[in-house]
Amino acid sequence: MTGAASSCAVVGPVVDEFWLGSRGPGACLVRMEVPLPAEMMVAALFAAGLFVTAGDVADDGELFGFIAQVVEREGTGFLEAAAENLPALERSGTLPDAGGVTGADWLAFCRRRIAALTAMPPALVCGEDGR
């Protein structure tokens, strides 16, 4: 590996079928590693805010499970676009409410939670206002 990816730690458990669900007889559970920059993890957690709250992701295993669900259902292309769009939505004040709170508060929580999870300096995960 080269560049920023080489300094990224491997984090998280292998997510099991509890999170990804059974797909019926003959379905296989394919295990893989998906490299996700912090911004994409924030975007995944922000998207998960449609059905979770901060209390639901207090445990690291639960957090990874919800991120894995979003990756599996929406794909990395969605997360790349979402990660690019979140700062513009934040600047314009048009973030949708999520996580049972305002969009701005949920995004700030997502950034803090991913920074804590990855042990990355908050400045690498936080937005322009440092939240």
Q: Is 48 a member of any domain? A: yes
Residue 82 included in any domain = yes
For 107, the domain range is: 37-131
pTM of the model: 0.77
Domain tally, the chain: 1
**Cα–Cα separations (whole angstroms), residue 98 to 21, 45, 57, 103, 110:** 24, 10, 13, 6, 11
| Domain contains 92 | yes
Whole-number Å distance between alpha carbons of 56 and 41: 16
88 occurs within a structural domain? yes
How do residues 28-55 score in pLDDT, each as one tens digit? Answer: 666 778 889 999 999 999 999 989 999 9
Residue 83 lies in a domain: yes
Report pLDDT digits (tens) over 23-33: 666 666 667 78
